[in-house]
Chain A
């Protein structure tokens, strides 16, 4: 069974940093692209970032480019999102998702990030 479990969310002050993790199991992690998607409270879904299977190529939405960095550790079956210079508008539930030919076929349960003083 495919399982994705996010962790690392919490309360952080504006301008601060946070590193999210997504632990994967039930599939060969190293062969799949992976994504981060977020959802602000009461709002819609926003795609953030994608990393290819070996971690050598990343893409970002403009709103997080230069502040967020996606990475992966295939030896540990783990995906990361390093978030710097956090703003109030980054408050959201952050989901990791597996890529299946472009669509997101499996999702984690999400981790809540709150940016507030």
Chain B
């Protein structure tokens, strides 16, 4: 089974800050990685697919990078609507989510 580990588990930050979340896979997954945003009481929303491709309608302040076993999600300038929990997911072999990163207001 492929395990996905996100860091940090939570971070406190401010509007306008640059935010970087890391996701590591237990083995190479090439670029078969997605990022999702979830707000309380809502379903997840796809942000990034194939590690670096922005889903239609997602603001350009979100970006993804990486390949193999290490990946990052970057929010270039945090906006109030971005406070949420973010999950990575591999889909190289079956599907596995990371444990999530909660982005909170400082």
Contact = CB atoms under 8 A, between A and B. Distances in A.
A43 B50 CA distance: 25
Contacts of B34: 102-104
Given A45-B87, A100-B49, A102-B91, A107 B43 contact: yes
A47 B44 CA distance: 12
B49 A103 contact: yes
Nearest to B97: A45
11 contacts: A37-B44, A44-B97, A44-B99, A45-B36, A95-B44, A102-B49, A103-B89, A103-B91, A104-B34, A104-B44, A110-B43
A83 B104 CA distance: 35
Interface residues of A, number: 21
Contacts of B96: 47
A61 B94 contact: yes
Contact of B46 (A45, A105, A110): A105
Interface residues of B, number: 22
Interface of A: 35, 37, 44-47, 50, 59, 61-62, 95, 100-105, 107-110
A107 B34 CA distance: 14
Nearest to B91: A102
